[in-house]
Amino acid sequence: MSYATRAGSVDGKSAVYSGASLSDAAGKLVATNRSGSDKGRLPGKFLADVAHSQSFNRGFEVADNAPGAPQPITNISGLGAFTATCNDQNGAAGNEDPASVLAFNNTSGRAVTVARRVGNGEGAVEIIPNGTVSSLSIGGTNTYTFHIAYGDNNAIIQGAVGQNGRGTAAATCSFFGYVLQIL
């Protein structure tokens, strides 16, 4: 047997590339990423019982005297989607006052438990069925936390909302934070 015949193997174990599916990689060695910001690193999807994190930073303009449309912030694997809406809470034309609605949309296929809190205020805990939404409203600038759980799949969303340009015709809402998911 020549070395060329066994190329892609280490100690008799076959190797797969870093973009392989979990089922294709089962029982095999996995190569590190060849390029990008994770060059030389093993993709996290191949590691069991390791937390996954992602950050976000978005800004949206206020629609004068109108509710905004929900904008996608992030998707949380196996649980659902997190969105933000930037509304105008002032009825006077050209005098915008940003207000934010943050929402978790349960697309998991089952009921999940959601705990949420704005700033250091009183929190709320609820069980929401599949296809429903748990939301909170922030009328100014503040921090927030969502904790979503089903079984051993837990996600914590920690972030802040900024109200920018209040009283002008060019106000915006800014959303930044992170998601920590433990599978």
DSSP letters along 11-71, please?
A: TTEEEE-TT--HHHHTTSEEPPP-SSTTTTS--GGGSTT--EEEEEEEEEEPPTTSPPPPE
This prediction has a pTM of 0.77
Q: Which residue has the tokens 């034309």?
A: 93
| pLDDT at residue 47 greater than cutoff 70 | yes
Q: What is the pLDDT of residue 30?
A: 87
Domain-by-domain residue ranges, the chain? Answer: 9-46, 52-182
84, two tokens: 């933000």
Q: How far is it between the farthest Cα atoms of the chain?
A: 81
- Counting residues of the chain whose pLDDT is more than 70, the rounded percentage is 93
| Structure-model confidence comparison of residues 182 and 104, the more confident one | 104
Residue 23 in this model has a pLDDT that exceeds 60: yes
